[in-house]
Structure 1
Amino acid sequence: MKPSKFFSPNLSPLLSLFAVAAMALPVSAHAHPGHEHSSFFSGLVHPITGVDHLIMLLAFGALVFFTVKKTSAQLSLLAAALIAMVGGVAAGLNFGELGGIEGAIAASLLVVSAALWQVFTASKQVKSMAVAVCVALIFCHGYAHGVEATGNVSMFAVAMAISASALMLLGNRLAAFASSRWISAGVAFASLVYLLVA
């Protein structure tokens, strides 16, 4: 297996444009300015109001649906992503600001878009690699919030996990009704719009 197969020449022009635009965009010093990170309620609503999280979680749920067919395997992968996110919150809280996290969050939107594009034709190994990379990038989403968290961090993290679980499950179920690689173009377009206006 050659890793280059994951980013094959079959990528749509939209994804290529997104890649160039994402690399050219300045990344803010803080992940989500204006969002509270201190209560159960703020944790519950942030994955929805934080558009980068919303896109990533819905898209990852869809990616898992297209990657494995057994429900138990899908739930295991969604649980792994959830553990990674909560682990990221804990790591960010304990280790503080880390260079490159914001870039990783922006890149995660490109990676999940490309993964969705390739999932219908890629080998099992490439699919597994794509899911693993996305899980690692979801850790970065959590890390950014750990750095910014104040107040009742435990309640914030629990609530964010609840909301994130619901979004991943929603993406997983929606994928059953939109079984097309062009879903990645929609994810890429939404991500590009978000990055341009954020």
Structure 2
Amino acid sequence: MKTTRIISSLATLSLILPASVQAHSGHDHSSFFSGLVHPVTGIDHLIMLLAFGALAFLAVKKTSTQLSLLAAALVAMVAGMAAGLNWGAITGIEGAIAASLLVVSAALWQVFSGSQMVTRMAVALCVALIFCHGYAHGIEASGNVSMFAVAMAISASALLLLGHRLAALTSSRWLSAGVASASLAYLLVA
């Protein structure tokens, strides 16, 4: 119950952070190269992808399940991009992206703190929030969207795998504190 309150509090906090968190404006969404570099230069994506890769490693023991979680995150991102292309802007997408950074931090903490059921729900929520990251790109995409999407998926895969491997080296609940600190610093200056 305590973890649920923490996750709810973090989601509420994301709503009071600056409304100008436009994590995706000002980026080129039209070429292979821009798709390749955006997950690295888009700090929100960098944090989320590395943290989710670590979460996949820490949340489950079986390697095949870990890789399935990473694949689910990629599918969610690409599906979100397709949805954004087709449905256009919706209210709250940037807030959901801001919340995703705080939720993944809480999920990392939860891995070391308690219930497997709550951990599974937090992981599922993170995958759903990764959909929002993709959706934002779909809204802003122009030009050669398919090349941008392929390149973004390649770069995102590398970051997910890097986060996965880093968690193998630093398996500590304080990883959550580092992700939360980086997320809050980014959100406060964005």
TM superposition score normalised by structure 2:
0.93
Name 1:197's counterpart in structure 2. Answer: 189
Shift of 1:28: 2.8
- Aligned partner of 2:57 among 55, 61, 65: 65
Indicate whether 1:120 and 2:112 are aligned.
yes
Shift of 1:197: 1.2
Q: Deviations over 1:34-69 (max 9, x none)?
A: 210000000000000000000000000001111111
Could you tell which deviates more after superposition, 37-46 or 26-35? 26-35
Name 2:137's counterpart in structure 1. Answer: 145
Contact 1:78-1:168 within 8 A present in 2 as well: yes
Structure 1 spans left out of the alignment, 5+ residues: none
Name 1:33's counterpart in structure 2. Answer: 25
**1:9-158 equivalent positions in 2, closer than 5 A:** 22-28=14-20, 30-158=22-150
Distance 1:92 1:158 in 2: 16
Contact 1:44-1:159 within 8 A present in 2 as well: yes
Distance 2:187 2:32 in 1: 27
Contact 1:31-1:145 within 8 A present in 2 as well: no
Shift of 1:19: 6.4
Contact 1:21-1:192 within 8 A present in 2 as well: no
Contact 2:52-2:126 within 8 A present in 1 as well: yes
Q: Deviations over 1:119-149 (max 9, x none)?
A: 1122221111111000000000000000000
Indicate whether 1:185 and 2:185 are aligned.
no
Distance 1:193 1:88 in 2: 26
**1:149-168 equivalent positions in 2, closer than 5 A:** 149-168=141-160
**Number of equivalent positions:** 189
Distance 1:82 1:175 in 2: 19
Which has more helix, going by share of residues? 2
- Aligned partner of 1:7 among 4, 7, 19: 4
In angstroms, what is the RMSD of aligned CA positions?
A: 1.8
Contact 2:23-2:44 within 8 A present in 1 as well: no
Shift of 1:77: 0.6
Shift of 1:31: 3.6
Q: Deviations over 1:84-106 (max 9, x none)?
A: 00000000000000101110000
Distance 2:12 2:133 in 1: 22
TM superposition score normalised by structure 1:
0.90
Percent identity for Structure 1 against Structure 2: 76
Does the residue aligned with 1:38 lie in a helix, a strand or coil? coil
